[in-house]
Amino acid sequence: MRNILVCNVQYPFVRGGAEILVEETIKHLRLRNYNVESVSIPFLWDPPSELLRSSLIWRLLDMTRYQYQSIDMVIATKFPSYCIKHPNKVTWLFHQHRDVYDLWDKDTSSLDKNNEADREIRDQIMALDNEAIAESSVVFTISQTVSDRLQKYNHIPSIPIYTPSRLWPQLHFKAMDDFLFTVSRLEVNKRLDLVLRAYAHSVQSLPLVIAGTGPQSEPLQRLAAELGINHKVTFVGFVTDEALVNYYATCRAVIFAPNDEDYGYVTLEALHSSKPVITMHDAGGVLEFVTDGENGFIASSEGALAKILTQVMSMPVAKLKSMGVYGSRQVGAISWDHAIDQLTGKAG
């Protein structure tokens, strides 16, 4: 039996897709009789100097042995866990510290380009990433989108490993009822404000249901009221797995329009429920699965999104259902068996 440590970066009081993916990875490794534990260290990023200190903690951590047990492999995930040193380090990159990379280029980084100290921190993090990730025995990512970023900024090749949602066994098609659905953590990068504005400019023949919680909850509800659509939009907040599966099973279509998403389980969950996905041209990982006109719709602007929403709300159910079935077939082969074989070197 091999001893494996999964390196997890902890955000206290926050639970999202990355946390769930770590849990699922551990679960499926154990199902295959690996002896697995996670190592979690809280991550601090404010002030920016904490980024380097958080990296140093991982860099100084020696996990080749623990007491009398040898550690055969470590699986590093997101920044800065891949800074850990180990002779058999597999990096499965969820994402780097994007403020140093693409968000810096888009001028949406928390680091200030005009601040010399911030520029120096950025340079040091990039240098550390180049060194730490490259020393891995193999580098995987969670999507082609993440692989493309890693190649662009660090010139490091990698292999995407797609994984199914933890809801995979429960997801199903039930009906195409008269409502549109979206779910995510309510944060700026998920662009629910864009969705609300587009919906306000569409012919709102069907209501919109928004599930999820987060810091943008109240601002989004205020925006819906300002746009005069609060009577058509329902914010249901946190929903149980059972309720979420039912929303997927019964909605007309799923809207998911984040900004350059790393992967996006919402996309897979919608398609696996045989529902078409409505998204944006710059949604990142979502576009690895959605093909315009085949299993969903891709908008190039807010105005285009409004037109698509109007189109979907009036489109024959049979056409939408055929698109959903096509999407379900596309993602049906994604499995944990393949993912674990890749991570543990048994593929091929």
Q: Where exactly are the structural domains of the chain?
A: 3-164+335-343, 180-331
Arch. (CATH architecture) of 3-164+335-343: 3-Layer(aba) Sandwich (3.40)
Q: Per the confidence metrics, is the pTM higher than 0.85?
A: yes
DSSP code at position 348? -
Which pLDDT value is given to residue 246?
98
Q: pLDDT for 246-263, tens place per residue?
A: 999 999 999 999 999 999
Mean per-residue pLDDT for 226-250? 96
348 pLDDT band (50/70/90 cuts)? very low
CA distances from 39 to 47, 61, 84, 104, 215 (A): 24, 11, 11, 29, 28
Which tokens sit at 162?
């797609």
Q: Name, in order, each residue with C-beta under 8 angstroms of 194's C-beta and a sequence gap of 6 or more.
A: 257, 280, 302, 305
- Least confident stretch, 16-25, 81-90, 225-234: 16-25
CATH topology agreement for domains 3-164+335-343 and 180-331:
yes
Q: pLDDT for 186-221, tens place per residue?
A: 999 999 999 999 999 999 999 999 999 999 999 999
Mean per-residue pLDDT for 125-132? 96
Percent of the chain's residues with pLDDT above 70: 99
Which pLDDT value is given to residue 69?
85
pLDDT tops 80 at residue 225 = yes
Which pLDDT value is given to residue 347?
54
CA distances from 302 to 18, 179, 185, 186, 293 (A): 29, 20, 21, 19, 18
pLDDT tops 80 at residue 134 = yes
Its CATH class, for the domain covering 180-331, is: alpha beta
